Amino acid sequence: MQQKEEELLRRAQAGEESALAALIARMMPAIRKGAAGAVAPGLDFEDAVQEGLIGLFKAVRGYDPDKKVPFASYAAACIANAQQDARRRATRKKHAPLNDSVPLPEDSAAPGPEELAIASERHAAVLHRIETDLSPLERDALLASLEGSTVAQTARTLGCSPKAVENALSRARRKLRSTA
């Protein structure tokens, strides 16, 4: 088993991707186990796994067979060191404000500049259509309706019948929908 591992290591050091993938597959249980123990505020499980993979890559590049240490032991130490270094970096006091903060809910995120510009353009286009496409009675009836006035109140204010206000509102809605 150790000879096969040494052969994989030599091929991985030579740049063979399939050999590196085989080493990663062999070491992944140790990487995942170490990642579970390294999780901390500011370092989630997947990030700790990535740090372990970086430690494995360093082990592949830095392994010296003349030191008479099995590669698996050397790689496990490199993986553990990389994950613990990442944990120390993540839990430093300078990161405490980020680690202790509460994330904002995503649905309450403020619109970005693009969304604001698009909304402003749409608003201006609707106002322009109200000014140009609607008759004065339709425009006044629509604006009164948008302000919360009832049909009867609008009819008294404009000096016309409630039926005329209802018809004007109906025409205004139809015109605004058809040009949308």
- The tens digit of pLDDT for each residue in 144-179 reads 998 899 999 999 999 999 999 999 999 998 888 875
pLDDT category of residue 129 using cuts at 50, 70 and 90: confident
Grade residue 101 by pLDDT with cuts at 50, 70 and 90: low
Query: Which pLDDT value is given to residue 104?
Result: 67
Going by C-alpha positions, the residue among 66, 71, 73, 75 that lies closest to residue 6 is 71
pLDDT at 91: 83
Distance (Å, rounded) from C-alpha 168 to C-alpha 145? 11
Q: Which of 29-33, 80-84, 111-115, 162-166 has the lowest mean pLDDT?
A: 111-115
Averaged pLDDT, 3-29: 87
In this structure, what token pair is assigned to residue 130? 């109200």
Q: What is the pLDDT of residues 102-119, one digit of tens each?
A: 666 766 667 788 888 998
Q: How far is CA 84 from CA 23, 27, 87, in A?
A: 21, 17, 5
pLDDT tier, 135 (very low <50, low <70, confident <90, very high otherwise):
very high
Q: What is the model's pLDDT at position 77?
A: 92
Share of the chain above pLDDT 70, in %: 89
What tokens does 133 get?
Answer: 């496409």
User: To which residue do tokens 């500049």 refer?
Assistant: 113
Domain 113-178 classified CATH 1.10.10.10?
A: yes
* Architecture of the domain whose range is 2-100: Up-down Bundle (1.20)
- Which comes out higher in pLDDT, residue 108 or 125? 125
Greatest C-alpha distance within the chain? 102
The confidence score (pLDDT) of residue 71 equals 87
Q: Is the pTM of this model over 0.85?
A: no
Task: Locate the DSSP E strands across 18-102.
Answer: none
Dihedral angle computed from the Cα positions of residues 138, 140, 143 and 144, in that order, rounded to the nearest 10 degrees = -110
Domain with CATH 1.20.120.1810 in the chain: 2-100
What is the spatial distance between Cα 148 and Cα 144, in angstroms, rounded to a whole number?
A: 6
Please tell me the predicted confidence (pLDDT) of residue 99: 64
Q: Is 151 helix (H, G, I), strand (E, B) or coil?
A: helix
